[in-house]
Structure 1
Amino acid sequence: MEEDLAEYIRFLTIERGLSKNTIESYMRDIKIYLIFLKKNQLTTWDTIDRYAILSFLQQLKEEQKSAGSIIRMVSSLRQFHQFLRQEKIATVDPMTHIDTPKKAQTLPKVLSIKEVENLIETPDTSNTLGIRDRAILEVMYATGLRVSELTELKLDDLHLSLGLIQTIGKGEKERILPLGNLAVQWTETYLNHSRNRLERPNQRSKYVFLNHHGRKLTRQGVWKNLKIIVKKAGIEKQVTPHTLRHSFATHLLENGADLRTVQELLGHSDISTTQIYTHISTHRMSMVYKTYHPRA
């Protein structure tokens, strides 16, 4: 079974060309599944039936896994078993009659424009890391980059004289994004005054944002630094790197941008994914109305 998983990972990498993060997510899910199968002495694919799958999903519920995690697991198993069936590794697909659980739609958290400005202006720009953090926040809010896209940003991806950057998103799709004047200015300040201090002379890096060891800043590093900045800014909301992406999209729509443009900027393959932000805008409009209209 481990060998079949390895074959599936090769298929996702070579034939489907999925991103490293997506493949790691599939692999984590299926490894949890294989542990369950081994524990229940299900050692061949054709011994697995619908009831084994339902038992596994029930175990995840009992472990208090979130609805989102269980939905993702069902999707992972569905695609994995389809692969096993197509490659004739298995003769049956136990996922055929398994329904995907419904997830209650929750609107992503967004910051107000004032909160974003407060957050961005919090890093102490009198020091090397403060300048770097200010540049990171400016770039994230100016472009709506995913945190993985930010950490993978290379020097060759910057076209600051044109006010543009290029990035590779999900599904290896490239997109070119405009940078606002402030983001360009702070990126240039970082490159001219901070990055050369962070980079080690004997350890040149092609990546834009570096940690204090001179290596590429990781996703975990961005999360950790942001948590500290949010606390310093006195923002009570739970803020993640994705919150800036959500805020970027919401503020664009609230100020009149059309949905198709926002879809392109975010790198969504399906416009239905982008439409969640129209719901946020409507929700926020309703909240503002109830707060400020004298007869609401």
Structure 2
Amino acid sequence: MEWKSALKDYQLYLKIERGLSKNSIDNYVLDVKKLITFLEEHTISTSPISINSETIQQFIYHVAKQVNARSQSRLISGLRSFFNYLVFEDYRSNNPLELIESPKIGRKLPDTLSEEEIDRIIKAIDLSKPEGERNRAMLETLYGCGLRVSELVNLKISDLFFDEGFIKVTGKGDKQRFVPIIDITQKYINIYRSEIRNHLNIQAGFEDTLFLNRRGKQLTRAMIFTIIKQLAEKINLKKNISPHTFRHSFATHLLQNDADLRSIQLMLGHESITTTEIYVHLDKSHLIKVVEKYHPRK
């Protein structure tokens, strides 16, 4: 088996068997491509079936000089998944990464914004420009519904169920969930739709896409990052923020106001409660509140 065919089969497996999104598949494939590039640059002739732990270890040592521990750990995890697939399909009898340990890294806590900082960012939006109303509606939706940036740019008008108080969100692996949407967020989306979006020359294929650029097409993820970075600079915010920061802030503020983790998990679309539990680490006072409220000896 050659690397090219193994990689192609692996991509199909990730898409069909595991139902991963294109972004996730691209990341997994990139990990394997890095290994292939290393083998070619060092003229190491070996196949996916015959490559051994020593060669993998040599590659890891090479990578360790270029990336931090977190990136190195993610790369090892990606390669381990690829070789697990080969074992699963009976191409190999063992995984060459079984004895290779990932570097020890601390759990990275996400950056968050205070309510006051979110207000300042949104107030910094220039509403005299047409895109201002759109940007306000987008940031209110990011924060008000805890969306991923990909979920925001893919949001459809047909996903809005304002009468019921929900929006339908398509998350990772095309999994759908319903997320509550508060009145203030609905208000700004309606203003954008009636005052700005209705006057755009909407391109074919984007009639149902909620947030559009000036040319009537879907916004890119990169554009959302740029909008947020520029607003942060405008108010002289020293934090390194991204669209995901609004999602983290949504979850953290709900937790601080005594929302339960299970509800937050459902709204964020986390498969595992363990992922949601990271927000507990952001605010230890929540743990004190739980004990004081629920412990029988209080």
The normalised TM-score by structure 1 is 0.90
Q: Is the 2:203–2:215 contact (alpha carbons within 8 Å) kept by the matching residues of 1?
A: no
- The reply to whether residue 55 of structure 1 matches residue 55 of structure 2 is no
1:209-248 matches, within 5 Å, as: 209-248=211-250
Q: Match of 2:163, SS?
A: helix
Q: Match of 1:187, SS?
A: helix
Of the three residues 86, 99, 102, the one matched with 2:101 is: 99
1:101-116 matches, within 5 Å, as: 101-116=103-118
Cα 1:204–1:168 change in 2 (3 A) is closer
The normalised TM-score by structure 2 is 0.90
Of the three residues 5, 8, 11, the one matched with 1:6 is: 8
Of the three residues 159, 162, 165, the one matched with 1:160 is: 162
| More displaced stretch, 181-190 vs 151-160 | 151-160
Q: Distance in 1 between matches of 2:183 and 2:21?
A: 31
Deviation at 1:238, TM superposition (A): 1.0
**Identical counterparts, % of pairs:** 38
Q: Distance in 2 between matches of 1:37 and 1:88?
A: 23
Q: Distance in 2 between matches of 1:6 and 1:201?
A: 34
Of the three residues 177, 180, 186, the one matched with 2:179 is: 177
Q: Distance in 1 between matches of 2:29 and 2:174?
A: 19
Q: Distance in 2 between matches of 1:263 and 1:27?
A: 28
Deviation at 1:213, TM superposition (A): 2.0
- The reply to whether residue 205 of structure 1 matches residue 200 of structure 2 is no
Of the three residues 31, 34, 44, the one matched with 1:32 is: 34
Q: In structure 2, what residue type is equivalent to 1:56?
A: F
Q: In structure 1, what residue type is equivalent to 2:153?
A: T
Cα 1:110–1:15 change in 2 (3 A) is same
Q: Gaps (5+ residues) in structure 2?
A: 289-298
Partner of residue 44, structure 1? 47
Q: Number of paired residues?
A: 285
Deviation at 1:283, TM superposition (A): 7.3
Q: Gaps (5+ residues) in structure 1?
A: 287-296
Q: Distance in 2 between matches of 1:184 and 1:213?
A: 24
How big is each residue's C-alpha offset from its partner over 1:83-115, in whole Å with a ceiling of 9 and x where there is no partner? 112223334421121223222123211111111
